[in-house]
Amino acid sequence: MTDCEFDSLLELASASQARLWQEQEVYRCSAIQSLPLTGTLVSSGSEITKLSNFVGSLASEPGMLHPNFFLASVLPKNWRPSVVLVSQGSRTAGLLYYKERVVAGIGTRIAVGHDDLGTMVVASPAERESIIRCGLEALLRQMIGVRLLVAPDCLSVLKSFSGAADIKFCSASRHSHLELPRTYDDFLMKAGPLMRRNLRYYRRKSERAGNEFISELTFSDFSAAAGRLFPKAAYRKSKRKLERCLAMVEAMPSRMLVGLKRRAGEWIGLAGGWYTSNGAIMNLQLNDCTCTRESVSLVLRSYLIETLIKRGARELVFWGGTSAPLSFLCTTRELFMVYIDAPSLPWRLFRSLCATISKLAPRSFSKDSELAYLVPRNAPNCTEETVPAR
């Protein structure tokens, strides 16, 4: 046998072995795909963090889908961060992020998930509906209620949910979306005469006072400045919420950190968030309440908008909404809060009692109340359906 013939036999054997391995892999994948999906609830922070590799396998830059961002977005005193890990045999098929409401350290067995920015489900597009359905089935085996903030395209999946459940759909809104034009002058024209006058007037006033806009800060400098400004910030909330906002920003790889400071170096305004593929999200703003005549908020936002437009951003999202005057230029996405409840008679009676109390004492069921998410707060905009068992 010549060397040439021997090499040909080796190539033939290698090709045959490769085909055999390929056929075995196809058979193994087919066997796995024929298995049913199963959902497992994971509530350990360390175990949730370990899911980073799976998320990274679906998206090279996970952003708000990353487990670290999800954990940072949950207030530990009021919520317990959890994930439904959906598997198919040994294969991880997807994740469904949610949080359980906690009162006095005790879980209420009410799960809440937010998909308003597409951050609730981690899965391939082809498997997204299956992951949602399996995740809900897993949740309702252990939870008495599930509350989901979703876009309209998700309603069909929820309406077809297999299993006996009481379902209510209520219109909702959360974030404010500001579309950004190609130039800052176009933005001023869009703003209208009164807002345009105020934007120009207060920016000139700020510049005459020697204030300086800083378009980029390090996270450590921003956090230190926020800690100093927070005690005298206008409309400030709890320190825990400030810490949560900072943790969310820190968890993102591309951060948006800007500020407005006096000539002497004192910070009078800060805004933080992160950049996205087509713009930015702002989840934190602090303004010195002693500068009421300087309209610090409007000046800082005008600089920020101009900076984003120069970067080519097409949208600025105000996390949780924004106030006038920019609210007049913003839009809100059509969303629905979906209330899914186990068909237990005692639970139905309790919800009916809570609904009655909410009408008599609406503050008891306000957004920041520990009783929030038990019953809809905007009952007139709700439709109720009972999905029969299939």
The DSSP result for 75-142, as a single string, is: -TTTEEEEEEEEEETTEEEEEEEEEEEEETTEEEEEEEEE-TTS-SEES-GGGHHHHHHHHHHHHHHH
Alpha-carbon distance 269 to 235, whole Å?
Answer: 13
- Determine if the peptide bond prior to 325 is cis (ω within 30°): yes
Decide if pLDDT at 29 tops 50: no
**In this predicted model, what pLDDT tens digit does every residue of 310-360 receive, in sequence order?**
999 999 999 999 988 999 999 999 999 999 998 888 888 888 888 888 788
Give the pTM: 0.85
Confidence of residue 388 (pLDDT cuts 50, 70, 90): very low
Decide if pLDDT at 18 tops 60: no
Please name the helix (run of DSSP H) or strand (run of DSSP E) that holds residue 6, with its range, or none: helix 3-33
**In this predicted model, what pLDDT tens digit does every residue of 194-248 receive, in sequence order?**
999 999 999 999 999 999 999 999 999 999 999 999 999 988 778 999 999 999 9
**Residue 202 contacts by C-beta under 8 Å, 6 or more apart in sequence?**
294, 295, 298, 299, 302
In this predicted structure, what is the pLDDT of residue 7? Answer: 54
Q: Which domains does the chain have, with CATH numbers?
A: 38-173+334-387 (3.40.630), 176-329 (3.40.630.30)
- Mean pLDDT comparison of 29-33, 208-212, 386-390, highest-scoring range: 208-212
Contact 320, 168 (CB under 8 A): no
**In this predicted model, what pLDDT tens digit does every residue of 136-173 receive, in sequence order?**
999 999 999 999 999 998 988 888 765 567 888 899 99
Contact 275, 314 (CB under 8 A): no
**In this predicted model, what pLDDT tens digit does every residue of 99-140 receive, in sequence order?**
999 988 889 999 999 999 999 999 999 999 999 999 999 999
Query: Average pLDDT, whole number, for the chain?
Result: 87
Nearest of 36, 367, 311 to residue 182 by alpha carbon: 311
Decide if pLDDT at 373 tops 80: no
DSSP 301-346: HHHHHHHHHHHT--EEEETT---TTGGGG-B---EEEEEEE---HH
In this predicted structure, what is the pLDDT of residue 81? Answer: 97
Confidence of residue 60 (pLDDT cuts 50, 70, 90): confident
Contact 191, 316 (CB under 8 A): no
Instruction: Please give the DSSP secondary-structure letter assigned to residue 74.
Output: S
